């Protein structure tokens, strides 16, 4: 059932063909029934009229025979009545199309005798007709059916009844003519079969026509769909072939116009991105060379500061420190501009986040003496495909951030893993952040507390979030004022798969 | 490990930026090294012949013959250690430089001590082996600093020589890239696997029949490299 439903929902052609065939079936059935009813009615009316006419003639003949019998005998002998039936039933060399039932005398006590041709009985005559003939004068008729010996089907018949009177005894007899309608039934069956097979052939042809017609619409639509899919997959050269001037052709040319405009937009953006990328690379090279020289000179001065007077020595120190900051800022800005230009690339290697967490917790250049960092959940290797340089930078940024702003004495770095992703959490027990601060924490150049801004560039978390996104991962933050902050970095095992959320539950949800 | 440190070690500084070149020379001279400066690529070969440097510091971007071409020319005549100066993040530049024969690279901006450490690492001649090693068809002679394969000499740079020696002196042992960086390059670049990968490719091109399906040094995916012990026959 499900594949059928699927086919119905997915295939326009199936739907068109099925709907057409269903509706045609209904129309053919209605028309067929009406036709059949008219034909059947016509046939029956015709037969009835002929039957009544024939029966009237028969009644007159029966009455005249009875009248004639009066002249010869006083009362109609039972034999004479039988002879009457036989003579009425006798035809002139033709196939008899009726049988006779003579019932009477009417009104006698007990069951009146029945004489008939063709083994018929009074029971074969419709009881309503019997009653009508019994109570009124006149010719009456009815349609009914007879069961035939050796066949389950009943033959439709029209029965015409009337009374005949024996003028001698004045006794009344009911005489019934039972006309078979087998011929009419046969004709009707023929018509019905012709209608059925004709209808079936018609349906098949309508289905085929619907299929052919729907092809004219659906084939170009399918082609359009395939081309749109290829276009979406990045093959921007794909175009529809426009033929003619119909709706499909106009749809195709509209699609082509859309594709054209998209392609030119994309080209322009690509050009822009390339220009920006080149600019970044040029700036990088042009700025780095003098910066390197200045930094080297500053370090030479710094090493020789023992020979300087205190002011000059301090100047050398400040020069060196601020050059370091300048370098960090330049490097961060260039990284961000690479992200913005879409030019950031990954160098993938298997990276063990447990190892990274352990190394970070033990890194003395990061974790200063009065702050202790513990690594949790690092017994098992937690390997992901990632760019080690970026992972290292993210973890360092998170730690540096926690140390710089949280005023926390203890940090916990923990690692948890699932089948498809690995999370690394950096948790501090410091001052925490308000909801407003949490909202802005990844903004560029935003600092939670300007008083403690020293040392950072204000870009670390923004870059880390971009780094995480570049892997298909996430960097999320939870915080409560006074309780601390938790950053959770989640990376997919296979780079590019989007992660759904952190593996471990955050503490402040 | 014996370390030979000489006041007469010479460093050729090739950089088009006169201020940086001079600053490099000042810092290196402060470390008791002798220096010579070339500001264009065209002068390098002549200076190389005349000055006979022990290490070359080579900027990637040069007027005249560019850094890549200079590197190729020097490699054609000598295995002298070459350290490329590059801008950070230009990964393709770095790989290109390593592929034409640079032993190491340093990204601008750098700290003086980082520069000195790298130059020193390239000057340091390690002597890890007493005798010659026969490894299948490869014979490595540490004294003569030569390698032969099927009796034919193979020309390896000192760095490639050290890399090969490190791996085949411990057959079957898997060396991670980190360990190789430590042992062969002599200092720690955190996570810098390019360096190992590119040099391993160059080494394989010289010692393997088919560098695509190596039979001497195998890559252990996700871990590192190991020398496959030759079948005893």
pLDDT tens-digit profile of A309-348?
999 999 999 999 999 888 888 888 888 888 887 778 888 8
Q: How far is B111 from chain A (nearest CA, A)?
A: 7
What is the rounded average pLDDT of the residues A398-416?
Answer: 84
User: Searching chain B, which residue's CA lies closest to the CA of residue A283?
Assistant: B87
Contact predicate A161/A140, CB 8 Å: yes
pLDDT at A162 over 80: yes
Higher pLDDT, A442 or A507: A442
What is the rounded average pLDDT of the residues B97-104?
Answer: 86
Using the beta-carbon criterion (under 8 Å), do A285 and B20 form an inter-chain contact? no
Question: By the CB < 8 Å criterion, does A285 face chain B?
Answer: yes
Confidence of residue A70 (pLDDT cuts 50, 70, 90): low
Mean pLDDT, chain A, whole residue set = 84
**Residue B138 confidence (pLDDT):** 85
Using the beta-carbon criterion (under 8 Å), do B27 and A288 form an inter-chain contact? no
* Contacts with A297 from chain B: Cβ below 8 Å: 23
Using the beta-carbon criterion (under 8 Å), do B111 and A347 form an inter-chain contact? no
Using the beta-carbon criterion (under 8 Å), do A300 and B87 form an inter-chain contact? no
Domain ranges of chain A: 2-190, 263-340, 349-492
What is the rounded average pLDDT of the residues A384-395?
Answer: 89
Q: How far is CA B151 from CA A24, A375, B171, in A?
A: 90, 54, 21
Question: By the CB < 8 Å criterion, does B66 face chain A?
Answer: no
Common-topology check for domains A2-190 and A263-340: no
Confidence of residue A368 (pLDDT cuts 50, 70, 90): low
CATH of domain B10-123: 3.40.50.2300
**Residue B1 confidence (pLDDT):** 40
Question: Three-state SS across B63-76?
Answer: CCCCHHHHHHHHHH
Q: Which long-range contacts (CB under 8 A, 24 or more apart) does A164-167 make?
A: A164/A59, A164/A62, A164/A63, A164/A66, A165/A63, A165/A66, A166/A66, A166/A69, A166/A70, A166/A75, A166/A76, A166/A105, A167/A66, A167/A67, A167/A70
> What are the pLDDT digits (tens) for A267-304?
998 888 788 777 877 777 788 889 999 999 999 999 99
CA distance A474 to A466: 9
**Residue B7 confidence (pLDDT):** 56
What is the rounded average pLDDT of the residues A368-382?
Answer: 77
How many Å separate Cα B201 from the centre of its chain?
13
Domain ranges of chain B: 10-123, 133-227
> What is the three-class DSSP state of B223?
coil
Confidence of residue B2 (pLDDT cuts 50, 70, 90): very low
| Tokens matching residue B91 | 């990964």
Is the domain A349-492 a CATH 3.20.20.70 member?
no
CA distance B206 to B140: 14
Of A288, A345, A349, the CB nearest to B108: A288
Confidence of residue A157 (pLDDT cuts 50, 70, 90): confident
Specify the pTM. 0.56
Q: How far is A294 from chain B (nearest CA, A)?
A: 8
Question: By the CB < 8 Å criterion, does A145 face chain B?
Answer: no
Reported in sequence order, the residue ranges of B31-80 that DSSP labels E, i.e. its strands, are: 34-38, 55-59
CA distance A493 to A383: 7
Return the number of other C-beta atoms located less than 10 Å from residue A236's C-beta: 16
Question: By the CB < 8 Å criterion, does B220 face chain A?
Answer: no
Of A285, A296, A349, the CB nearest to B27: A296
Using the beta-carbon criterion (under 8 Å), do B109 and A327 form an inter-chain contact? yes
Q: How far is CA A228 from CA A11, A259, B62, in A?
A: 17, 9, 48
What is the rounded average pLDDT of the residues B113-118?
Answer: 89
Q: What is the CA radius of gyration of chain A?
A: 53
pLDDT at A495 over 70: yes
Mean pLDDT, chain B, whole residue set = 83
* Contacts with A388 from chain B: Cβ below 8 Å: 190-191, 193
> What are the pLDDT digits (tens) for A11-24?
888 888 899 999 99
Using the beta-carbon criterion (under 8 Å), do A296 and B108 form an inter-chain contact? no
Can you name the CATH fold of B133-227? Arc Repressor Mutant, subunit A (1.10.10)
CA distance B14 to B44: 7
Residue A201: its H or E element: helix A182-232
Q: How far is B231 from chain A (nearest CA, A)?
A: 31
pLDDT at A373 over 80: no
Question: By the CB < 8 Å criterion, does A410 face chain B?
Answer: no
What is the rounded average pLDDT of the residues A178-190?
Answer: 87
Return the number of other C-beta atoms located less than 10 Å from residue A456's C-beta: 19
Question: By the CB < 8 Å criterion, does A338 face chain B?
Answer: yes
**Residue B129 confidence (pLDDT):** 57
**Residue A91 confidence (pLDDT):** 64
| Tokens matching residue A490 | 């989640």
- Strands A410-417 and A372-376 turn out to be parallel
ipTM of predicted complex: 0.77
Question: By the CB < 8 Å criterion, does A347 face chain B?
Answer: yes
Question: By the CB < 8 Å criterion, does B170 face chain A?
Answer: no
Of A285, A338, A388, the CB nearest to B191: A388
pLDDT at A73 over 60: no
* CATH class of the A2-190 domain in this structure: alpha beta
**Residue A350 confidence (pLDDT):** 86
Using the beta-carbon criterion (under 8 Å), do B87 and A288 form an inter-chain contact? yes
Using the beta-carbon criterion (under 8 Å), do B90 and A281 form an inter-chain contact? yes
**Geometric angle at alpha carbon B113, from B90 and B83, rounded to 5°:** 45
Judged by phi (left if over 0) then psi (alpha if -120 to 50, else beta), residue B101 lies in left
Confidence of residue A181 (pLDDT cuts 50, 70, 90): confident
Pick the CATH number of A263-340 from 1.10.150.530, 3.40.1350.10, 3.40.630.10, 1.10.287.130: 1.10.287.130
Q: How far is A350 from chain B (nearest CA, A)?
A: 6
**Residue A497 confidence (pLDDT):** 81
Dihedral (CA of A498, A432, A464, A487) sign:
negative
**Residue B61 confidence (pLDDT):** 81
Question: By the CB < 8 Å criterion, does B151 face chain A?
Answer: no
């Amino acid at each position: 059932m499900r594949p059928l439903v699927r086919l119905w929902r997915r295939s326009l052609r199936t739907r068109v063909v099925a709907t057409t065939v269903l509706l045609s079936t209904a129309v053919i059935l209605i028309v067929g029934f009406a036709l059949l009813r008219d034909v059947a009615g016509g046939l029956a009316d015709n037969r009835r009229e002929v039957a009544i006419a024939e029966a009237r003639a028969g009644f007159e003949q029966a009455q005249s025979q009875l009248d004639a019998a009066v002249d010869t005998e006083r009362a109609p002998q039972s034999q004479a009545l039988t002879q009457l039936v036989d003579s009425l039933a006798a035809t002139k060399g033709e196939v008899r199309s009726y049988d006779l039932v003579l019932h009477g005398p009417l009104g006698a006590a007990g069951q009146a005798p029945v004489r008939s041709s063709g083994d018929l009985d009074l029971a074969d005559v419709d009881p309503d007709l019997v009653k009508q003939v019994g109570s009124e004068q006149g010719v009456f008729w009815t349609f009914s059916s007879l069961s035939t010996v050796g066949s389950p089907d009943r033959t439709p018949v029209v029965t015409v009844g009337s009374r005949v009177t024996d003028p001698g005894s004045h006794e009344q007899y009911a005489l019934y003519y039972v006309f078979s309608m087998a011929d009419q039934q046969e004709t009707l069956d023929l018509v019905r079969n012709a209608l059925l097979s004709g209808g079936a052939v018609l349906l098949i042809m309508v289905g085929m026509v619907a299929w052919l017609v729907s092809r004219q619409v659906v084939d170009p639509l399918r082609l359009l769909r395939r081309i749109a899919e290829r276009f979406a997959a990045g093959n921007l050269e794909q175009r529809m072939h426009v033929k003619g001037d119909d709706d499909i052709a106009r749809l195709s040319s509209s699609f082509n116009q859309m594709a054209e405009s998209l392609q030119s937009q994309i080209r322009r953006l690509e050009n822009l991105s390339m220009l920006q990328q080149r600019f970044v690379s040029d700036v990088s090279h042009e700025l780095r060379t003098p910066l390197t020289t200045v930094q080297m000179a500053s370090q030479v001065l710094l090493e020789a500061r023992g020979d300087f007077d205190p002011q000059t020595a301090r100047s050398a120190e400040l020069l060196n420190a601020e050059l370091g900051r300048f370098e960090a800022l330049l490097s961060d800005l260039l990284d961000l501009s690479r992200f913005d230009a879409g030019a950031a690339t990954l160098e993938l290697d298997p990276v063990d986040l447990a190892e990274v967490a352990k190394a970070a917790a033990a890194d003395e250049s990061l974790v200063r003496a009065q702050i202790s960092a513990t690594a949790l959940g690092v017994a098992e290797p937690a390997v992901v495909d990632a760019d080690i340089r970026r992972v290292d930078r993210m973890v360092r940024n998170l730690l540096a951030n926690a140390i710089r702003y949280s005023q926390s004495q203890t940090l916990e770095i923990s690692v948890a893993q699932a089948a498809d992703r690995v999370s690394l959490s950096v948790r501090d027990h410091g001052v925490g952040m308000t909801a407003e601060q949490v909202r802005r924490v990844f903004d560029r150049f935003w600092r939670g507390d300007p008083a403690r801004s020293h040392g950072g560039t204000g870009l670390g978390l923004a870059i880390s979030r971009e780094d995480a996104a570049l892997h298909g991962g996430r960097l999320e933050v939870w915080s409560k004022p006074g309780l601390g902050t938790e950053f959770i970095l989640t990376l997919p095992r296979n780079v590019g798969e989007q992660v759904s959320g952190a593996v471990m539950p955050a503490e402040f949800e | 490990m014996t370390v030979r440190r000489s006041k007469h070690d010479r460093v050729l500084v090739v950089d088009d930026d006169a201020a940086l070149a001079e600053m490099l020379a000042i810092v290196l001279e402060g470390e008791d090294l002798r220096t010579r400066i070339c500001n264009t690529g065209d002068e390098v070969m002549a200076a190389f012949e005349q000055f006979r440097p022990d290490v070359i510091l080579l900027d990637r971007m040069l007027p005249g013959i560019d850094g890549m071409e200079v590197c190729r020319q020097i490699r054609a005549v000598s295995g002298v250690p070459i350290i490329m100066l590059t801008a950070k993040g230009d990964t393709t530049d770095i790989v290109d430089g390593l592929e034409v024969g640079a032993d190491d690279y340093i990204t601008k901006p750098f700290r003086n001590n980082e520069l000195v450490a790298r130059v020193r690492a390239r000057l340091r001649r390690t002597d890890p082996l007493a005798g010659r090693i026969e490894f299948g068809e490869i014979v490595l002679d540490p004294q003569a600093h030569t390698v032969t394969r099927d009796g034919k000499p193979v020309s390896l740079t000192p760095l490639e020589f050290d890399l090969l020696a490190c791996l085949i002196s411990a057959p079957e042992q898997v060396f991670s890239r980190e360990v190789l960086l430590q042992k062969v390059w002599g200092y720690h670049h955190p996570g810098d696997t390019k360096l190992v990968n590119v040099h391993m490719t160059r080494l394989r091109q010289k010692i393997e029949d088919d560098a695509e399906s190596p039979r001497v040094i195998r890559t252990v995916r996700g871990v590192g490299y190991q020398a496959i012990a030759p079948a005893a026959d």
